[in-house]
Amino acid sequence: MTTPPPGLRERKKQATREALRAAALRLAMEHGPDRVRVEDIAEAAGVSPRTYNNYFASREQAIVSAVTADREARIAAAVAARPEEVRLAEAVTEAVVEQYTDAGEGGHEALLFITTRPALRHAFLDSTACIEPPLSAVIAERLGDTGAPTARVLAASVAAAVRIALEGWLRPAGEDAGAVGSLDAGGLVVPVGSLSDRLRAALAPLAPSFDAAERRVQP
């Protein structure tokens, strides 16, 4: 599946989105997220507040997007790039693990900033829902099953599994390992164990469903 290069309009939109992300994170880290207004972010990015609202629904979403930036599209692209002989379950798992464990330059500091603030932490977790649409399209293409709900169900299950893995990883300090904890409280949040291992463990129960879907479409 070959994706044509983006046109000028799309490149401009992407540049605006990136400018807003960068401005939101920089201002939040300089002044604190509660002291940053949408107007401040828009001005720093050189656009109007109205333009800002075309890209992000809240300041938290914009701040978190600086870390999650197009991760869902990269996951889908990584799955699409895998050879057809690779099991779909394996392709999805490896794509998710790769994209969630590569923080990039300056990413670790930004991630720590986000995970120690409840509103940003929730926006970070909510961003996992964005995995579903592009991944659903890639799964449907892979299965040759674009009209059935199978791809959407599988992609939604992946998004839910990723959120569960992140919730377990971002457990508040001092919370019992077996407790269903609240991420609402502020203060220190301690990443627990290997994120890669948590993601693989959360996605593992989905493998039989992926395998069954592939078997149904095999000639």
Q: How confident is the model at residue 1, as a pLDDT?
A: 47
Q: How confident is the model at residue 148 (pLDDT cuts 50, 70, 90)?
A: confident
Residue 56 DSSP symbol: -
Q: Is the pLDDT of residue 41 over 80?
A: yes
Output phi, psi for 170, to 5 deg: -95, 60
Q: 119 versus 190: which is more confidently predicted?
A: 119
C-alpha pair distances (Å), 155 with each of 92, 96, 113, 123, 129: 9, 12, 29, 20, 9
What is the reported pLDDT for 102? 79
Percent of all residues in the chain with a pLDDT value above 70, rounded to a whole number: 84
Mean pLDDT of 52-74: 91
pLDDT attached to residue 189: 59
Confidence class for position 180, pLDDT limits 50, 70, 90: very low
pLDDT of residue 124 exceeding 70:
yes
Better-scored residue on pLDDT, 111 or 95: 95
Q: How confident is the model at residue 126 (pLDDT cuts 50, 70, 90)?
A: very high
Asked if residue 184 has pLDDT above 70, the reply is no
The answer to whether the pTM exceeds 0.85 is no
CB 163 within 8 A of CB 125: yes
Length of the chain: 219
Residue 16 near residue 47 (C-beta atoms within 8 A): yes
pLDDT at residue number 169: 87
